[in-house]
A and B are shown apart, each in its own frame.
Chain A
């Protein structure tokens, strides 16, 4: 089957998609976006978390066909997504089919307004990072880094909804993201740091 959807602000078309293929597989193997990670492919570890019409989901549990006509944001587009959110605000205007819940989120229309930018894929130099990405680096929350993309997408969504989360809020929001290296303490530090920087910037 053919699937048309938007990834990181760019319209994409995938052909010959097998009906059992996950969104994760399509992103990684067909779109060349391996940032979403394949750690359990069972919805248990959160490493493949992406925003689907603004809602964080495990892309391994989403059938590719389900994303027809919808918007996906992956870690590759996170910095630009956050930037455009800062510039345009999100205002909690959820589309009716967006499923972004009562707490707000980024609407379909808003998601469509932005475009991702190419970066230097080898050194990362010249890449503008989002607040949460920079905080993860600064706090030492990245070790092997395999869980990092999913955690970033999830943590960014948390801070979008709750600009000053308590530790328990952070723990609750990130409880679906496994990390085997860090012991989570520095991940907590990173989210706290990002929240503090976010509040300073306002």
Chain B
């Protein structure tokens, strides 16, 4: 059987087999890598090891915007144990930049640094500490340049241009070179519609810079190969996208860069961009030795892009009977120094800025800026998160002004199948927005003031402040808040979004075995679990082997945009169907003359046998195959989309929509400004749950990331210096188990007829509405008008 037989790293996740289990789609089968992960044997990218291996270290800029006057590497190079020191001058190819869409990111800074933490030089040494000390001995002279830190400074007359001489395809339509991309959406007539409004509300909202904060740091191992190429074992979200960016800057043809996915410790969008991949390859090729790079947490905060912080300006109107009349908004996303995924984030923010509501008259504009702040790009929710925070606050404001219940107001305006989006796209699959809200609202509320009613069993740990014992409930108030959101699934705006799967069916030890080979990055979401389930369902076998993800098979696209089960799951399904057809063809050839059902009946594969739809067994799969193997590789595409018009924003840009609703119950100690989220109930439509255990796990995880941004998570960038002030888990806080409440989950399964099995991509949606629900609950508890994430204690105590 085809297997990865490379001997290099200690235990790349390889042959995961589940034996003697039915385990088809719809069952909550367990993770095939679960045992490895609970025993510590699973090899994450930071666990890679190779004999004679060196350690790579990156030297990063200590200033945000400066000209590099000089770099002196002599002292670093002279240190015992140091094998190589590389700067911009050592880059081997003409191509010296990379980027997801716009190649504007230097592999190593050339002449100028544009943000705090930008890579400037690389060191390879025989011990990580030696590499760190050597990097610290590199002397760089900077001449600081004026900073661009926000919309005003980016667009001011005479503002420094972050990228002079831009020649990307967005430059022709943006009003200023410090704007990466601009997407307006104009539909209907806002001025006319406004006349119908009985109430109008305006709001200005600020969304802080969130970090993916995956636990496994950026890391990997590059091994030079005999043909002058390199093998790279790395944690990423999209092997082939990395490959397309790595090979040109190494000056190698793509076939000489062989990539294998190693264990990924979470991603959430933070691994869509290149981090250490190219650096490790450069050092390996320069030293002709294997080189491992592992970021520490501090460096990880500089090593990946973050969620775009945003300013959002909204105006909504409604009639006195609660119907929305119009919406105007401007969304300003801070993309930081390099483009990363900013153009696509702009497309999402604008096209989803209305939320899951019926609104025919809109005037929308979204832009992303180039600034000297840290680069921002993909993170779970991707532009839809920021918009959801704002439009849901607006819904609450409108409901309050009209004296209506906030849930009823939303339900009154909720979109449904057939609704026309502001882009003109018709929602052509179930859109159970009102129903999701109904479900979270109908759930019984957790008991109030438990610390009083529990008597002797009262547990101070349940109060805001918890173990710190800061209150016994004197100033604690409760609030309940609701929110619902809409997210697109898959890559939009005409992107050729496809995935590839190779499926091999053969007989091993008398039993039919399917091998599934894709380049899908398993980042923890459970894709490998559902691939095995799909293969079992389609091929009727119990044994499925998941081949390690590598670049020896076609691209699977990115593990992002809630697309992998749809796309690579779809590819596995399609390829299995073709394998099944090929098997039946062999069966017809061999056995067709013995039984008429081979030609006349609908044939299925079940329990290792070919059966008719009436349940009659025709043959064993093993008997049909004998020594033959069926081995097919096919691509799968979703229905095509088109780019949004650059003036009107019209166009069928999205593949599929996904919806989630939340109800948050919070308790706030108004004296100390401490928030305890008591419960965060969720309802989501997933179309079809291929694996309910994984689905619920994703919903709870996504919900918690939304909770984090509501009450604690923010990368703080000093506005005067554009330097990051909290790059550590001491200072950048993510929710602990004490901060995270019970998360009851209600899953709907309304099939999308166009999707494989009717499924709906679901990983991102729960992150959207969780944040506004928590903040709505805090507003309700405190009566304060809060328009910013994350909430800080001083915002609740009036001591800001």
- Given the interface pairs A39-B297, A142-B34, the reply to whether A75 lies near B40 with Cβ below 8 Å is yes
User: Which 6 pairs show the lowest CB-CB distances between chains A and B?
Assistant: A35-B40, A144-B524, A124-B35, A183-B700, A146-B265, A145-B37
| A160-202 Cβ-contact flags toward B at 8 Å (1 or 0) | 0000001010111011111111111111100000000000000
Q: A121 — nearest CB in chain B belongs to which residue?
A: B41
Q: Does B46 contact A (CB under 8 A)?
A: yes
Nearest CB of chain B from residue A143's CB, rounded to whole Å: 4
Q: Are A175 and B729 in contact (CB under 8 A)?
A: no
Say whether, besides A138-B30, A144-B524, A171-B737, A183 and B703 are in contact (CB < 8 Å): yes
Inside 8 A of B699's CB, which chain A residues have their CB? 183
Tell whether, in the assembled complex, residue B127 and residue A18 are in contact, meaning their CB atoms are under 8 Å apart. Answer: yes
| Interface pair A181/B524, CB less than 8 Å apart | yes
Given contacts A35-B40, A145-B524, 19 further A-B contacts (CB under 8 A): A34-B47, A36-B40, A38-B217, A38-B294, A40-B297, A45-B215, A75-B39, A123-B17, A124-B36, A143-B526, A145-B42, A147-B215, A171-B737, A176-B736, A177-B736, A179-B737, A180-B215, A183-B703, A185-B743
Instruction: Report whether B523 and A38 are in contact in the complex, using a CB–CB cutoff of 8 Å.
Output: no
Q: A18-B129, A34-B47, A137-B30 are in contact. Are A146 and B703 (CB under 8 A)?
A: no
Shortest beta-carbon distance, A172 to chain B, in Å?
A: 6
B470 on the A face (CB < 8 A): no
Interface size on A (CB < 8 Å)?
A: 67
Residue A122, interface by CB 8 Å: yes
Say yes or no: A129-B39 contact (C-beta < 8 A), given A28-B47, A32-B10.
yes
A127 touches B37 (CB 8 A): no
Q: B704 at the A/B interface (Cβ < 8 Å)?
A: yes
- Contact between A129 and B697 (Cβ–Cβ < 8 Å)? no
Tell whether A37 is near chain B: CB-to-CB under 8 Å. yes
Question: Which residues of A sit under 8 angstroms from B626, Cβ to Cβ?
Answer: none
Say whether A121 contacts B38, CB under 8 Å. Answer: no
Q: Quick check: is A149 within 8 A (CB to CB) of the other chain? A: yes
User: Measured between alpha carbons, how far is A146 from B72 in the docked complex, in Å?
Assistant: 38
Which residues in B have their C-beta under 8 angstroms from that of A172? 461, 467, 738
Q: Which residue of A lies closest to B12 (CB)?
A: A122
* Interchain CB contact under 8 A, A185 and B49: no
A183 to B268, CA, bound (A): 14
Are A41 and B743 neighbours in the complex by a CB distance under 8 Å?
no
CB atoms of B297 and A182 under 8 A apart: no
A-B contact pairs, 27 of them (CB 8 A): A20-B129, A32-B10, A36-B40, A37-B46, A38-B46, A39-B217, A39-B729, A42-B297, A44-B729, A45-B215, A74-B40, A122-B15, A123-B15, A124-B34, A125-B35, A140-B30, A143-B524, A143-B525, A145-B38, A146-B214, A168-B459, A172-B738, A178-B736, A181-B697, A183-B740, A184-B700, A185-B743
Is A181 a contact of B701 with CB atoms below 8 Å? yes
B97 at the interface (CB under 8 A from A): no
Closest-by-CB residue of A relative to B264 is A144
Task: Tell me if A5 counts as interface (CB < 8 A to partner B).
Answer: no
Do the beta carbons of A186 and B697 come within 8 Å of each other?
A: yes
Nearest B residue (CB) for A41: B296
Knowing A41-B297, A183-B743, the reply to whether A123 touches B16 (Cβ < 8 A) is yes
Q: Nearest chain-B residue to A191 (Cβ)?
A: B737
Cα–Cα, bound, A174→B129 (Å): 31
Nearest CB to that of A47 among chain B residues?
Answer: B215
B26 within 8 A of A: no
Question: Given A28-B47, A129-B39, A137-B34 in contact, is the A42-B268 Cβ separation under 8 Å?
Answer: no
B43 at the interface (CB under 8 A from A): yes
Size band of the B side of the interface? 35 or more
B453 to chain A, nearest CB (A): 16
Q: Known: A45-B729, A129-B35. Contact between A39 and B40, CB under 8 A? A: no
Segment 106-147 of A: residues with Cβ below 8 Å from B: 119, 121-125, 127, 129, 133-134, 136-138, 140, 142-147
- Nearest to B457 among chain A residues (CB) is A166
**Does residue A76 face the partner (Cβ distance < 8 Å to B)?**
yes
Residue contact A140 to B694, C-beta cutoff 8 Å: yes
B44 at the interface (CB under 8 A from A): yes
Cβ-closest chain A residue relative to B522: A144
Q: Which residue of A lies closest to B526 (CB)?
A: A143
B737 contacts A177, C-beta separation under 8 Å: yes
B648 interfacial by beta-carbon distance below 8 Å? no
Does B462 reach chain A (CB closer than 8 Å)? yes
Q: Is the CB of A175 within 8 A of B736?
A: yes
Cross-chain contact B40 with A34 (CB below 8 angstroms): yes
Given A35-B40, A127-B35, A181-B701, residue A40 in contact with residue B49 (CB < 8 A) = no
Q: Of residues 44 to 80 in B, which have CB atoms within 8 Å of A's CB atoms?
A: 44, 46-47, 49
The residues of B that contact A127 with a CB separation of less than 8 Å are 35, 39
A positions within 8 Å CB-CB of B: 18, 20-21, 28-29, 32-42, 44-45, 47, 74-76, 78-79, 119, 121-125, 127, 129, 133-134, 136-138, 140, 142-149, 152, 166, 168, 170-172, 174-188
CB distance from A64 to the nearest CB of B (A): 12
Is B509 in contact with chain A by the CB < 8 A criterion?
A: no
Contact surface of B with A, Cβ cutoff 8 Å? 10-11, 14-17, 28, 30-31, 33-44, 46-47, 49, 127, 129, 212-217, 263-268, 294, 296-297, 459, 461-462, 467, 523-526, 693-694, 696-697, 699-705, 728-730, 734, 736-738, 740, 742-743
Task: Report B-chain residues with C-beta under 8 Å of the C-beta of A28.
Answer: 47
- Distance in Å from the Cβ of B749 to the closest Cβ of chain A? 18
> Pick the contact of B266 from A44, A125, A144 — CB < 8 Å?
A144
| A180: chain B residues within 8 A (beta carbon) | 212-215, 266, 268, 701, 705, 734
> Nearest Cβ in chain A — how far from B210, in angstroms?
12
Which A residues touch B33, using CB under 8 A?
145
CA distance A170 to B524 in the complex (A): 24
- Give the contacting residue for A181; candidates B36, B266, B737; CB below 8 A: B266
- The residue that B523 contacts in the complex, of A34, A144, A187, with Cβ under 8 A, is A144
Min CB gap A134→B, angstroms:
8
Question: Which residues of chain B come closer than 8 Å to A36, judged between CB atoms?
Answer: 40
- In the complex, which of the residues A29, A144, A178 contacts B729, with contact meaning CB atoms closer than 8 Å? A178
Q: With A146-B266, A171-B738 known to touch, is A40 a contact of B728 (CB < 8 Å)?
A: yes
Complex Cα spacing A136 to B37, Å: 10
Q: Is the CB of A143 within 8 A of B701?
A: yes
CA distance A171 to B734 in the complex (A): 15
Question: Which of B213, B264, B265, B525 lies at the interface centre, i.e. has the most chain A CB atoms within 10 A of its CB?
Answer: B265
Return chain B residues, CB-CB under 8 Å to A178.
215, 729, 734, 736
Pick the contact of B728 from A29, A44, A148, A188 — CB < 8 Å? A44
**Whole-angstrom distance between the alpha carbons of A188 and B212 in the complex?**
23
User: Which one of A74, A146, A183 lies within 8 Å of B215 (CB-CB)?
Assistant: A146
In the assembled complex, the CB of B18 is this many whole angstroms from the nearest CB of chain A, namely 10
A74, closest chain B residue (CB): B40
Q: How far is the CA of A145 from the CA of B32 in the complex (A)?
A: 12
Name the A residues within 8 Å of B697 (CB-CB): 140, 143, 181-183, 186
The reply to whether A124 and B41 form a contact with Cβ atoms under 8 Å apart is yes
**CA distance in complex: A119, B462 (Å):** 42
B761 CB, nearest partner CB in chain A, Å: 17
Complex contact B729–A183 (CB within 8 A): no
B297 cross-chain contacts in A, Cβ below 8 A: 39-42, 44-45
Cβ–Cβ contact B729 & A34, under 8 A: no
How far, in angstroms, from A28 to B45 measured CA to CA in the complex?
13
- Which residues of chain B have C-beta atoms less than 8 A from A179's C-beta? 215, 737
B38 cross-chain contacts in A, Cβ below 8 A: 75, 129, 133-134, 136-137, 142, 145, 148-149, 152
**Complex Cα gap A195–B724 (Å):** 43
Interchain CB contact under 8 A, A183 and B15? no
Given the complex of chains A and B, what is the CA–CA distance between A127 and B36 in angstroms?
A: 9
**A119 contacts across to B, CB distance below 8 A:** 39, 41
Chain B residue numbers with a CB within 8 Å of A39 are: 215-217, 265, 297, 729
Cβ of A173 to closest chain B Cβ, rounded Å? 9
- Contacting residues, chain A, for B34 (C-beta < 8 A): 124, 136-137, 142, 145
Instruction: Give complex CA distance A10, B263 in Å.
Output: 27
Question: Which residues of B have CB within 8 Å of A182?
Answer: 697, 700-701, 704
> In the complex, A97 Cα to B353 Cα: how many Å?
61
**CB within 8 Å for A124 and B39 given contacts A140-B693, A175-B737, A186-B700:** yes
